Amino acid sequence: MFLKVQLPWNVIIPAENLDAKGLMLQRSIVVCLLDDFAKKRATKDLGYYLAVSTLESIGEGKVRPQTGDVLFPVVFSGITFKIFRGEILEGVVHKVLKHGVLLKCGPIENIYLSSLKMPGYRYVPGENPVFLNDKTSKIGKDVAVRFIVLGTKWLEAEREFQALVSLEGDYLGPVS
């Protein structure tokens, strides 16, 4: 699910960027914030950081001793993407393996659908391997699939989420 969040953030402006006043300073704060935001990538609580939508407020700057940099507390709204257990989503298959498929959904690429969780589908090997069922539904590369999320995992080192998903349930499977 995409979320609209309001976040407090500390922006540090290096001393050498401080000579200009007013608009230029505000510009440095925005540039710095956008840069930090993109670098952050994702957090366990809020998910992936997509975009800053509005800068709500800029607090009073505090000069840091020694360096002379100035720290500005700001509040902004932004968009994030987080995946929840029990959520029903649509994703696209990007890899077909013998024991299941890998899907991508929004910024997340490691979504695993095991063949054990695709009742009725069997693996058909070949140059473009696919999973087929009796009703000639096909799950192969680039096919959109509707699934339910069984579990999610946050990988701190990579700043990535992984998810396990299933087709066990009504109205789940490939979508056109």
Partner 1 sequence: MSGEEEENAAELKIGDDFLKAKCLMNCEVSLILEHKYEQLQQMSDDPMNQVSQVFEKSLQYVKRFSRYKNPDAVRQVREILSRYQLAEFELCVLGNLCPETVEEAIAMVPSIKTKGRAHDDEAIDKMLNDLSLIKKFE
Please pick, from the candidates 53, 62, 95, 119, the single residue that binds partner 1 as defined by CB under 8 A. 53
Min. distance of Cβ 79 from partner 1 in angstroms? 6
Could you say which DSSP state residue 31 is in? Answer: H
- Using CB under 8 A as the binding rule, whether residue 30 contacts partner 1 is answered as no
Q: Which of residues 112-141 bind partner 1 (CB under 8 A)?
A: none
* Residue among 104, 94, 106 nearest 139 (CA): 94
d(CA 43, CA 48): 7
Min. distance of Cβ 151 from partner 1 in angstroms? 9
d(CA 149, CA 62): 44
Could you say which DSSP state residue 131 is in? Answer: E
Judged by CB under 8 A, the number of residues near partner 1 is: 36
- Using CB under 8 A as the binding rule, whether residue 36 contacts partner 1 is answered as no
Please pick, from the candidates 72, 76, 81, 121, the single residue that binds partner 1 as defined by CB under 8 A. 81
d(CA 141, CA 133): 16
CA distances from 130 to 12, 42, 73, 83 (A): 51, 32, 52, 26
- Using CB under 8 A as the binding rule, whether residue 7 contacts partner 1 is answered as no
Could you say which DSSP state residue 86 is in? Answer: T
The one segment of 10-18, 19-27, 132-140, 164-172 that binds partner 1 by CB under 8 A: 164-172
Structure tokens that stand for 109 in this block: 């690429």
The one segment of 10-18, 20-28, 57-65, 142-150 that binds partner 1 by CB under 8 A: 142-150
Residues that bind partner 1 (CB under 8 A): 1-5, 38, 41-42, 48-51, 53, 79, 81-82, 84-90, 92, 104-107, 109, 144, 146, 148-149, 169-171
